[in-house]
Amino acid sequence: MQHRYLGRSGLKVSAIAYGNWITHGSQVDDDTATAAVHEALDQGITTFDTADVYAATRAEAVMGAALADQRRESLEICTKVYWPTGSGPNDRGLSRKHIQESCEASLRRLRTDHIDLYQAHRYDHETPLEETMVAFADLVRSGKVLYIGVSEWDAEQITAAAGLAAELRIPFISNQPQYSLLWRGVQPAGGPPPAPAGAGPSLWPAPAPGGPPRKYRPGEPVPEGSRATDDHGGAGFVQRLLRDEVLEAVQAMKPLVDAAGITMAQYAVAWVLRNPDVGAAIVGASRPEQLTENVVAAEITLDDDLVAAVDAVLEPVIERDPRKTVSPPTRP
C-alpha cells in the first residue's frame, strides 16, 4: 500500500483509507465489521475514518474495539464533530462546549488517548469561527488531537479557518469533501480542485459507483439490505444517485471499464487517486472481500483515453456545482 502526505503536512496516510459510515453499528454486525477492519490492516491500510454521528456514535465504538489490539503508533485515526449526538441544545454544532465534550467521548469510544485528525463535519453558522478554532487549538495543545481538518466546508470558509489556524499556530491540514466520478463540485471544470490558504484538499471520499451495476438497475426496486435501505443516514445519500438517468449512464460505462480488465469499484477509486491533490480515497466495506478488491486500485494507472471515454458517457449526470457544498444554516 502506498502512502501519501496529507495536505501540506508531514503526516502520511494510506492511499486508501477505511471508512465505516453506513456500515459499522448499522448494516453490518460487529464480528463482520471487525473482520473487515482486520482485512484492511492486512492489506496495508493504516488510516481509519469515522465520525461521532455515524450510527448514533456506535460506529466509533465498533472501530475502537476492532483496533484495540493494534500498535497505536502505526495507525492514523480520524473522526469528526458537528452533527447531533444527543438531545440537548449543546449536543451539536461547533461550540467550545460541544467540541470539548465530543472529543472526550470520541476518545473513550475509540479506546485511544489521542485523535490523529479531528475534523469539523460541517460549518457552524451559529458559532463564531474564532471560538471553534480556539477550541480546536486547545485540544491540539493538550495532545488529545494532533491535526485538524474540515469536511464539506466551502472555499471561503476554509480560507478564513486557515488564516486563524496560522495565527494560532495549529496544523490545519485537510479538507474532506464529497468527490467522486459523479460528484465533482469541488473541482473546477478543466482544472484541479482548489487548495485554499494552506489547507490542501486531502482526504476525499470515493463513493464508488461500482455497486450500481451489480445491485441497482434502472426501473428496478432497491434491493433489501443494500446501503440504499439503511435508516441510519446512508439511505438518503445513496438514493440521490439512484435516478434512472444516473443508473443508465453507469451501466453504459461498464463495457468500457470491463474492457480495461478492472472492476467498476476499482475504476472509481483509481479515478479519485489519479488526482495528485488527493491524500487518500476513503472506501467502506460490508464484507472483508470487498476491501481485497478495492485496494488493488491504489496500484492502477488509468489510461487517459479510457478516462476521457468514461467521462463522455457520464457527463450528463456529473454534478459540478460548487454551490452544493453547503452546511445547514442553523444547527440540526
> Over the stretch 119-159, which tens digit does the pLDDT of each residue have?
999 999 999 999 999 999 999 999 999 999 999 999 899 99
pLDDT digits over 181-210, tens only?
A: 998 887 554 444 444 444 444 555 444 444
330 inside domain: no
Q: Would you place residue 179 in the very low, low, confident or very high pLDDT band (cuts 50, 70, 90)?
A: confident
* Predicted pLDDT of residue 151: 93
- Least-confidence region, from 116-125, 129-138, 216-225, 248-257: 216-225
Does residue 168 register a pLDDT over 60?
A: yes
Max mean pLDDT among 151-160, 305-314, 315-324 falls in: 305-314
62 inside domain: yes
* Predicted pLDDT of residue 132: 98
* Predicted pLDDT of residue 130: 98
Burial class (CB in 10 A: 0-12, 13-18, 19+), 315: exposed
What average pLDDT does the chain have?
86
43 inside domain: yes
Neighbouring CB atoms inside 10 A of 269's CB total 29
Cα–Cα distance measured from residue 88 to residue 230, given in angstroms and rounded to the nearest whole number: 25
Q: Which domain holds residue 299?
A: 3-324
Give the closest residue to 157 by CA, choosing from 132, 182, 193, 178.
132
Stretch 77-85: mean pLDDT: 97
- Catalytic amino acids? 54
Percent of the chain with pLDDT over 90: 65
C-alpha cell at 42: 492486512
Cα–Cα distance measured from residue 57 to residue 220, given in angstroms and rounded to the nearest whole number: 33
308 inside domain: yes
Cα–Cα distance measured from residue 191 to residue 204, given in angstroms and rounded to the nearest whole number: 17
Q: Report the predicted TM-score, pTM, of the whole model to 2 decimal places.
A: 0.88
**Cβ-proximal residues to 88 (8 Å cutoff; 6+ apart), any chain:** none
Q: Are 270 and 297 in contact (CB under 8 A)?
A: yes
Say how far residue 190 (Cα) sits from the centre of its chain. 24
Phi, psi (deg, nearest 5) at residue 324: -85, 0
Stretch 224-253: mean pLDDT: 68
Give the closest residue to 149 by CA, choosing from 196, 219, 188, 185.
196
* Predicted pLDDT of residue 73: 97
115 inside domain: yes
Q: Taking the chain, what is the end-to-end CA distance rounded to the nearest angstrom?
A: 38
Task: Give the CATH number of the domain where residue 162 resides.
Answer: 3.20.20.100
- Least-confidence region, from 105-119, 202-216, 289-303: 202-216
Look at 173 and 203; give whichever has higher pLDDT: 173
Place of cell 475502537: 64
What total number of domains does the chain contain?
Answer: 1
* Predicted pLDDT of residue 207: 45
331 inside domain: no
Stretch 280-291: mean pLDDT: 88
Can you say whether residue 185 is alpha, beta or left, with left for phi > 0 and alpha for psi between -120 and 50 degrees? alpha
332 inside domain: no
Stretch 84-109: mean pLDDT: 97
139 inside domain: yes
* Predicted pLDDT of residue 290: 86
Q: Are 159 and 194 in contact (CB under 8 A)?
A: no
